[in-house]
Every structure is written in structure tokens, then in C-alpha cells.
Amino acid sequence: MQATIEKDAYLTQLLEILPMLPTDFSWLSELRDRASAIVRQSKFPTTRDEEWRFTNLSALRQIQFNNVETPVSPSLDVAIPEAESRLVFVNGVYAPTLSAVNVPNGVIVGNLTSLPVHLRSYLAQVEGAEEVFTALNTAGMTDAAVIWVAANVIVESPIQVVFLTTDATFSQPRCLVIAENSSQLTLVEEYRSLSTNSYFTNAVTEIWLSENAHVNHNRIEREGAKAIHIGKTATSQAKHSQYTCNSIAFGSKISRHNLQVYQTGEQTETTLNGLTMIAQEQLADTHSLISLKYPHGKTRQLHKCIVGDRAHAVFNGKVFVPKMAQLTDAGQLNRNLLLSPKARVDTKPQLEITADNVKCSHGATVSQLEDDEIFYLQSRGLDKDNARNLLINAFAVEIINQIPLASLRQTLTTAVSQY
């Protein structure tokens, strides 16, 4: 009983240090209060909980937060050349001096002040909003990145959203994306750090795709070596929509990405590509959920993990195909490459099917670099280190090549080469 009280007390402590709601956003009061009530009734996740049994968050309780109300804008060029619009948040605070917006008519790119009244109802409405860390983010919401694309508008240039951390903070980034009927958008969402201290990032991104909308979402997590990062991506897809998520994670001491996709109409397409690269004693946990509720849904998921030293990767992928989701075509695969005898991976691909006319498959593989493969490359003139790096790059490139931005592909390829 005592342990439960301590964990509940910790969540209460986090609520008490949340920032005050600015007067400009007083309309958020009810939403925040409702989320606070959910957090107060929740328990802090532990390894006794099935969904968290491989991810120990006890290190989070040891961080002494030093929140900065008015962060100093860092002199850092975070722009990618392909993006004409960029939103930058520093320690959770919108930084207009680092941001740049150049969008066509029918597109809104800005912070929460840019959100029209009739679109406020989208906030915190995707399924899963009552999960404890998602509710904690909502309870402390003071701002958010906002992207809205009107019906039939195709945004040619990618839109970049960057969340930076510069101190030992408790930061709760929020992003809301709304793609109306037959619109198209490419989004780059990045989490980066200028801090060598311990800190906690609790991020939530909500993406709404209306009928026939197309969204290509590229999520890059490369936070500091002492960071704890918990991220939630919740996506709702209407009929005939297409959503692609390319998720790359190679930062943080502990990272967790909860990726949830809800197909709310027939003939939707979902593609999830993931790459985790960790070493030393990092822990990276990916939990995904694809919920199909209508006929003719199609989904493909490929998640790869490269794990070195004493690092620990976790993958738990769920695909729900209930009886009404007839003629579903779903495929899921998790592939893991262990570079050290003490590297570890726990993988659990799941299909839950009650429909009787579907095409579904899932699987997982765990492998190591083979001595004969390295020997073969050495026989062709490569030294051992270059042979090893070539094999690692070949494993990762299948995911990296799915990213539609050349500059980002090059950055990630360089990161893999230095792994």
C-alpha cells in the first residue's frame, strides 16, 4: 500500500509544478481540469504493469527539475533546407525568433494562438487521451504547435516542427495536425537537446486525417544522453485516407514512443516504418497500436532495432482486426540486430483477429553480425571496422530510405555510420 501512495504522490507532485495557464488560453481551463482529475486517479506506471514491464521509470523520480519560464533562445541552426516553414519550441515555449512561416493560402502553421475557435474541439479527443502521461500533458498544456490544411490543398514543401531542450526541465511539447478532405502534407517532427543534464520530455502529437487526406509524418527523437523521453502519437484516419509514419529514435537514456492509429473509415491505408539505434545502457521502447474497424483497411509495419553494448530495446506492436473489419490486409514485422553479447531485445508482435475474411501476417527476427559476412567483406579489401559498419548501414538503410527528405536521410545515414 505504501508504494502505491508514493507513486500517486509523485503524480500529484508533477501536477503541482505544471505552469499556470496564460490568460490568452483560458478556454483550455475545463480541458486541463478534466485531465488533472484523470492524473490524480491514476497510478505511476511500474514494471508490474503489463504495458510497462520492460521499462523501469524509477530514474524519472530522481530528476530535480529546474523549469525555466522564459528560456533564452539558443544560437542554433535547426532548419532543414527542404522546409519553407518551421516552428521551434524551446523548453516547451514557442520561439518565434527561431521560427519561420511561409505557407500557401488555406494553411495555418503557428502556435495555439493560431488555432481557430471552430477547431479547438480537436484537442485531446483522439482515443487514448486518458492514458496517464497523455493526460499529464493535457493537464499542463499552455501552448502547442498547430498545423491545419484546408480541403484540397497540397502543401508542396515539408513543414518542420522542432522541440528543443536547453536546461534540466520538465517539458511537455504538444502538436496538433488537422488535414482536411483530400489535402496532402509532409511533416518533420524533431526532438533535440542542447543540455547535458537530466530532464524529462513528455510529448503528445495528435493527427487528424479527413476523407482522402494524405499525411507523411517523420518523427526524429535525438535527445540528450541523460534525458527521459515519453512520446505519444495518436492518429485518426477517415475513409480513403493514407498515413505514413517514419519514426527514428537514437537519443535519450530512456525513451518510449506510444504510436496509436485508429482507422475510422473503410479503405484506409497505414504505413509505419521505425528504426531504433541505441548503445551503452540506453533503453528504447516502442509500443504501437493499429485499430481497424472498417472493411478494406490496409496496414504495413516494419520496425528495426540496432542494439549495442548493454542497451535494451523493446517492441510491442498490436494490430486489432474486429469482425466488422472484413477484407483487411495487414502485415507486421520486427527485425532486430544485436551488436553485443549483452545487448537485449524484448519483442512482441501481436495480431488480434475476429474477422474471418482477412489477409494478416506478423513476425519477429533477432540476429547478430555473422563472422562469415564480415570475413567475406574483408576478403574484398575492407578492414573489420568498415565491414562491420557496412553491414549495419545495410540493415538501417531500408528504413532511412523511406524518409522523403534528402537532407534528413543524409543526417541519419551519417549517424548510423558513426554508431
What string of DSSP letters covers 323-388? Answer: TT-TT-EEEEEEEEEE-STT-EEEEEEEEEE--SS-EEEEEEEEEE--HHHHHHHHHTT--HHHHH
Q: What's the pLDDT score for residue 74? A: 57
Q: What's the pLDDT score for residue 71? A: 52
pLDDT by residue (tens digit) across 99-137? 999 999 999 999 999 999 999 999 999 888 999 999 999
d(CA 185, CA 209): 10
What average pLDDT does the segment 203-212 reach? 98
Which residue did the predictor score with more confidence, 419 or 410?
Answer: 410
Going from N- to C-terminal start, the domains of the chain cover: 2-265, 376-419
Task: For residue 154, name the pLDDT band (cuts at 50, 70, 90).
Answer: very high
The residue type found at 185 is L
Exposed/middle/buried for 66, CB within 10 Å: 0-12, 13-18, 19+? exposed
Task: For residue 73, name the pLDDT band (cuts at 50, 70, 90).
Answer: low
Is the pLDDT reported for residue 5 higher than 70? no
| pTM listed for this prediction | 0.94
d(CA 42, CA 23): 28
d(CA 216, CA 21): 32
Q: What's the pLDDT score for residue 72? A: 52
Is the pLDDT reported for residue 215 higher than 80? yes
From residue 122, give the alpha-carbon distance in Å to each of 12, 188, 207, 241, 336.
27, 21, 9, 18, 37
d(CA 149, CA 157): 13
The residue type found at 331 is G
Is the pLDDT reported for residue 64 higher than 50? yes
Q: What beta strand segments (E) does 211-282 contain?
A: 214-222, 227-237, 242-249, 254-263, 269-278
* Strand-pair category, 298-307 with 227-237: unpaired
